[in-house]
Amino acid sequence: MKREERLAALQPLLREVLELLGEDPEREGLRRTPERWAEALLAYTEGANGDPEEHLRVTFHLDEDDYYQMSDDMIIVENIDFASTCEHHIAPFRGVVHIAYIPNPHSRVISGLSKLTRVVDLYSQRLQLQERMTHQIAQAIDKHLDPLGVITVVQAVHYCMIQRGVKQRSSSTITTARYGIFRDNPALETRFQEYLRLRLNTSQW
């Protein structure tokens, strides 16, 4: 179904939702809400129409002189901002993703750093669960880059916990996914955490 058709189909349904909530869709301020709401829902979930893994199919190779055989040096991209929609309550959750992987010394395959952010974008822009998204990101990197290991850490605030139920306004949720030698060698995760504590003051750049 084309985007225009989906928008046209959603609007009367969302108008009905407003009515069931006890609102008057004809009052000032709500007249265009079904249209705006439909546009927003499609924007929140546009990642479902893309393939996050396609961004990892474009890779680069480190020269052997630049990456020696016994290296366990990490490539880290931290603080990747994301906003997603929880599939349980259709409420937003937002936070940051930290990724580290260790290139395979035999293939020495790496990805463009911007590609990792695109992977996060496309997995987050769909109806999601934080736990699943954390593993999806790590699995995609593990599949296409074949690294020695990869770790993904996601920290997020869930508005379903802020606005309803337990109403925990100061809590956050952390999820992790580890593959390869990050599973087998806890010291690597400790080193990764130490690197994350090294905050660069990028505001002056």
H, E, C per residue of 86-98: ECCCCEEEEEEEE
Tell whether 98 and 154 lie within a shared domain.
yes
- Over range 154-167, report the average pLDDT: 82
Residue 166 pLDDT level (bands cut at 50, 70, 90): low
> Does 90 fall in a domain?
yes
- Over range 119-141, report the average pLDDT: 96
Structure tokens at 24: 């008057």
- Over range 168-176, report the average pLDDT: 83
Helices (DSSP H) in the chain: which residue ranges? 3-20, 33-44, 113-124, 130-145, 159-162, 181-184, 186-196
Please say if the pLDDT value at position 167 is more than 90: no
- Over range 146-153, report the average pLDDT: 96
- Over range 126-133, report the average pLDDT: 96
Judging by beta carbons within 10 Å of its beta carbon (0-12, 13-18, 19+), is residue 140 exposed, middle or buried?
buried
pTM: 0.88
* Domain hosting residue 164, numbered range: 54-204
Q: Which amino acid is located at 154 in the chain?
A: V
pLDDT at 198: 78
Tell whether 182 and 112 lie within a shared domain.
yes
pLDDT in tens, 44-79: 999 888 888 888 887 787 777 666 665 678 999 999
Tell whether 116 and 183 lie within a shared domain.
yes
- Contact, 110 vs 63, CB < 8 A? no
- Over range 182-192, report the average pLDDT: 93
Q: How many separate domains does the chain show? A: 2
